[in-house]
Amino acid sequence: MIQKTPIAVLISGRGSNMRALIEACERPDYPARIALVLSNRPDAVGLEVARAAGLQTIAIDHKPFGKDREAHERKVDAAIRASGAQIVCLAGYMRVLTPFLVNSWEGRMLNIHPSLLPAFPGLHTHEAALAAGAKEHGCTIHFVTSGVDEGPILGQARVPVHADDTPDTLGARVLDQEHRLYPETLAKIIGQQS
Ligand code: GRF
């Protein structure tokens, strides 16, 4: 029986990358298991998906904390630690992190970003790629550091940009690759750390 590393998955919305991680973790030979799914939005659709899969979930709403991002993160950090998770996977977690959480999980927190970083950090990456006339687009998994969408790149997947692409068609092509890349890269990182 393979030793599975417990992970926490942090979401804010639909959670399709989380679903890809759930499916991977269900495989007996996959080296991770999901100890916690955490959302900063109590109404995130992904929370329902996670509950339906029988996973432990928690919502820690950021709104009552106002501008005190670190106070919110201290609750998030405590919940992650209580779950026993050793790696944190950001999967559409729409919060800019403070040094508190970044430093707490340095080298153990991954993020997925829908562009070929360093190209197109930030939001609306598919629009940006089309506006720039990019011939190729894709997604990146990286370690989280204090700069937004910076940090050592762990894996990338590329897709072609078609002449008739819209942000939606291009985004869907990228998202398919995200769902493949995240489980693959997480397994690679766990293999390197153990
Ligand atoms: C994905 O495109 C991911 O790359 C970005 O946010 C989106 C989350 O989608 N960080 P989902 O919630 O995983 O469906």
pLDDT per residue over 146-176, tens digit each? 988 899 999 999 999 999 999 999 999 999 9
The residue whose CA has the least distance to atom 7 of ligand 1 is 92
Q: What is the pLDDT of residue 62?
A: 98
Distance CA 167, CA 173 (A): 10
- 114 Cβ closer than 6 Å to some ligand 1 atom: yes
Q: How many CB atoms lie within 10 A of CB 147?
A: 9
- 13 Cβ closer than 6 Å to some ligand 1 atom: yes
Answer whether 49's CB lies under 8 Å from 21's CB: no
Q: What is the pLDDT of residue 164?
A: 98
Among the listed residues 62, 72, 113, 126, the single catalytic one is 113
The residue whose CA has the least distance to atom 12 of ligand 1 is 15
**17 in a labelled binding site:** yes
Q: What is the pLDDT of residue 140?
A: 98
H helical segments located in the chain? 16-25, 45-52, 69-83, 99-104, 125-131, 167-193
Half-sphere exposure in the Cβ direction for 49 (13 Å, CA): 20
**113 given a catalytic annotation:** yes
Q: What is the pLDDT of residue 132?
A: 98
Residue carrying structure tokens 């991680």: 21
The residue ranges of the chain whose pLDDT is under 70 are none
Q: Is 0.75 topped by the overall pTM?
A: yes
Q: What is the CA(184)–ligand 1 centre distance, in A?
A: 16
Q: What is the CA(1)–ligand 1 centre distance, in A?
A: 32
- 149 Cβ closer than 6 Å to some ligand 1 atom: no
Q: What is the pLDDT of residue 71?
A: 98
**103 in a labelled binding site:** no
